[in-house]
Structure 1
Amino acid sequence: MKPADTSVPLHPLLAERWSPRGLDPDVELTDKQFTALFEAARWAPSWGNTQPARYIAGRRGDETFTRIHETLSRGNHGWAANAAALAIGVAQLVNDEGETMPYGEYGLGLASENLVLQAVSEGLVAHQMAGFDREAARTAFAVPDGFEPLVAIAVGGQGPIENLPEKLQEKESAPRLRKSLSEIVFSGSWGSPTF
């Protein structure tokens, strides 16, 4: 585990959340765990309660998992095969009347973070990925117009990093770093740190 180095204590779900690539190929999700991921996503807040988040999801060994896995970039394809589940997060960007839905991407982001935190609460880990072929996903799953595949997510149990290529082992072992609060929170005027 690599808990976050924070200026004040955070809830363990937040402090312990990180995105490992070293996944245990023997970990499987129960039906309850798998359902809970998407139940957590379903209850995320959204602009005007528009609920723009959709997911395509499969568990290791099923056809949906295999098809999602095939859309992953070369850099994600190897390690993500050990995930217990893979999902593609899709944002609704146009409503049923053909109007642009504001904040669809934001809503998908909120729902996906709920999913990730639910995984952490179950003793699992999750890794969100931009490295997948959106158009391949759209085609493979017949995603309709007005919806945009935006993120792939691997969920599973944390495993040893020794099975990863050396470059990924270095990334897994590296300390978790974030910008300081003084760089991201301002008061009075832009660039004037709050903390």
Structure 2
Amino acid sequence: MNPRIAQTSAPVLPALAERWSPRAFDDAHAFPENALRGMFEAARWAPSASNTQPWRFILARRGSESFAKIEATLMGFNQMWAGSAAALIVNIAELSDAEGKALPWAEYDLGQAVAHLSVQAQSEGFHLHQMGGFDRAAISESFELEARFQPISITAVGAIGSADNLPEALRERELAPRTRFELDEIVIVRD
């Protein structure tokens, strides 16, 4: 049995059971032109409050100036592995519209869009790892984002590489069994 496939208590879609967050990416893998289009199409069709679609994405392929800018903002362990991903994606929430009206569900809606993107990517054989450890102000400055656009997370995407290429502390985490809370710990039933 593959230890990376989630052992679920009820059947789920294969793309969900097989999804995990690797740190070992194949640093020789590159995406052909338009290979990531399906991921972004899935994100585009995510639900959003009042159909505001308050998400934006910066896609940067390894070797590009934009990739280097994003990689330079990564913090901690993220700097040790994320540069091997074939691409980095900055996930951005539009916190207010052009007239200044707050979009209070923007971050939630962005999360749904990123989840759709993730499931589509997994179903296409790509792997992703979400990161929160980065300098948001540096991203905003590097890409000249208006104040109403807030970088929320960064996604590394690519093909799986060898865990042997990771530093020992990260290798252990990469190979450790997957765990989750049990359903009765997260679902509150009130009848």
CA distance in 2 between partners of 1:8 and 1:37 (Å) = 26
Match of 1:66 in 2: 68
Gaps of 5+ in 2: none
Which residue is 2:77 aligned to? Answer: 75
**Mapped partners of 2:42, 2:62: distance in 1:** 21
Q: How does 1:81-100 map to 2 (within 5 A)?
A: 81-100=83-102
Percent identity over the alignment is 48
- Whichever residue aligns with residue 66 of structure 1, its letter is A
Kindly indicate whether residue 154 of structure 2 is the aligned counterpart of residue 152 of structure 1.
yes
Paired residue secondary structure (1:25): coil
Q: Structure 1: which 4+ aligned runs deviate by more than 4 Å?
A: none
Measure the CA separation in 1 of the matches of 2:46 and 2:9.
27
Residues 1-195 of structure 1: pairs in structure 2 closer than 5 A: 2-188=4-190
Q: Shift in Å at residue 35 of structure 1?
A: 2.1
Secondary structure in 1 matching 2:172: helix
Letter in 2 for 1:11: L
Per the normalisation by structure 2, the TM-score is: 0.95
Amino acid at match of 2:86: A
Partner SS, residue 36 of structure 2: helix
The amino acid across from 1:3 in the alignment is: I
Kept in 2: contact 1:69–1:77 (CA 8 A): yes
Q: Distance in 2 between matches of 1:111 and 1:128?
A: 13
1:145 CA displacement: 1.2
What value does the CA root-mean-square deviation take over the aligned residues?
A: 1.1
TM-score, structure 1 as length reference? 0.93
Query: What 5-or-longer segments of structure 1 have no aligned partner?
Result: 190-195
Q: Deviations over 1:29-55 (max 9, x none)?
A: 122222222222111111111000101
